[in-house]
Amino acid sequence: MENTAYKPFAFIEQYTPVEGTTVYYNTKKTLATQKNDCHIGGTTGNSVELTAEANKFVSTISIADANEQAESWLKANAQAYANNSGSCLIRQTAWRGVDHSCVIEPSRLLLPFDYMIIRYKWVLGAGQDLDTFTGFVNTGTQYDKQWLGHGQGRTKLPSTTIEAKDSYIMWAGDNQETVGVESCFVNFTKMASDHASLNTIQIRMAAAWYKQIGTGNIDIEIAIYSGGEISASGNDFINTGGAIVQKLNFSKNIPSPPTWSNNIENVPHIGYITYTTHTKKAQIAITY
């Protein structure tokens, strides 16, 4: 059944400020949401972007307050809008794991965003102590192939930075458990701002089990954000004050390497993320 709860601007109560009152208007805000009412087998909803145009919400307090109104409206209406205007698409599939179970893979195209959190996640039975390798490639900068991960001698780039907002990339630390996550924060906006000649910024991902291996199955979660601040929390990162734009999950089987090597060229390759600086969009390529 079609969701008709979407409330457009035309039906929002208009506000006329008292003459002489200082008022503030919102800046343009957007929110992408996946259509979630596709019930035909083998299909999935696409991602749909809803926009709150500038100067649609008014406040007598501040621009931030007007923006908060716009964001609240987006959150209240985005799902209904996506269900009404989105499309049901044929799902992409990929083979995962040693038992060749079929899993559903999401789109590999990302909407415009500021920064990203890459999470390598595993559950009980997959293995113990997944070591991850994440870093820049093909940028032509000094940061190419400066991998972040256990035994790499660095947790962030540039190494002199302290907070995530000042880093180009940051790793949240080593997880040696039988279940958990290892994460990297990639600040594409700052990398692009500080290296204005770059048309694209590419990230490479790889991983290997340091201790025993079970099924070897992991999930790679790609979460992208607009605004707010990022801070480390355990082996993960959290966003405060921003908006999540998209969150995608990809499956991957990580086999045990013939011998342990702390060299990315000798461990299972996961894939690449390529960010285009002028559009602020990215494309994901997972290797199977």
- Whether 106 has a pLDDT exceeding 60, the answer reads no
Residues in the chain: 288
Q: Please, how many CA atoms are within 13 Å of residue 135, restricted to the half-sphere of its CB?
A: 25
> What pLDDT is attached to residue 54?
92
Percent of the chain with pLDDT over 90: 48
DSSP 17: P
Query: Are 120 and 181 contacting, i.e. CB atoms less than 8 angstroms apart?
Result: yes
- Whether 99 has a pLDDT exceeding 50, the answer reads no
Q: How sure is the predictor about 5, in pLDDT bands with cuts at 50, 70 and 90?
A: low
> What pLDDT is attached to residue 42?
58
Q: φ, ψ for residue 75 (rounded to 5)?
A: -65, -35
Pick the CATH number of 102-286 from 1.10.3470, 3.80.10, 3.30.70, 2.60.60: 2.60.60
> What pLDDT is attached to residue 288?
64
Q: How sure is the predictor about 281, in pLDDT bands with cuts at 50, 70 and 90?
A: very high
> What pLDDT is attached to residue 11?
67
Helix (H) or strand (E) holding 115: strand 115-122
Q: φ, ψ for residue 53 (rounded to 5)?
A: -65, 160
pTM (predicted TM-score): 0.67
Q: How sure is the predictor about 132, in pLDDT bands with cuts at 50, 70 and 90?
A: very high
* Amino acid at the residue 180: G
pLDDT digits (tens, 9 = 90+) for 76-98: 898 899 888 888 876 554 444 44
267 vs 259: CA distance, rounded Å: 9
Span between the terminal Cα atoms of the chain, in Å = 37
**Strand, coil or helix: 78:** helix
Of the listed ranges 134-143, 147-156, 251-260, the one predicted with least confidence: 251-260
85-100 in b/e form (b: 16+ CB < 10 A) is: ebeeeeeeeeebeeee
> What pLDDT is attached to residue 100?
43
pLDDT digits (tens, 9 = 90+) for 203-259: 999 999 998 899 999 999 999 999 998 998 899 999 988 889 988 888 888 987 666
Q: How sure is the predictor about 45, in pLDDT bands with cuts at 50, 70 and 90?
A: confident
CA distances to 3, 45, 248 from 40, rounded to whole Å, are 16, 10, 21
Nearest to 104 by CA among 114, 113, 112, 94: 94
39 vs 13: CA distance, rounded Å: 35
pLDDT digits (tens, 9 = 90+) for 238-248: 998 888 998 88
- Whether 65 has a pLDDT exceeding 60, the answer reads yes
pLDDT digits (tens, 9 = 90+) for 155-179: 999 999 888 889 999 999 999 999 9
40 vs 80: CA distance, rounded Å: 19
Domains in the chain: boundaries:
20-90, 102-286
Average pLDDT rounded to a whole number, residues 42-61: 85
Average pLDDT rounded to a whole number, residues 142-161: 91
* Amino acid at the residue 256: S
63 vs 112: CA distance, rounded Å: 23
> What pLDDT is attached to residue 256?
78
Query: Are 245 and 113 contacting, i.e. CB atoms less than 8 angstroms apart?
Result: yes
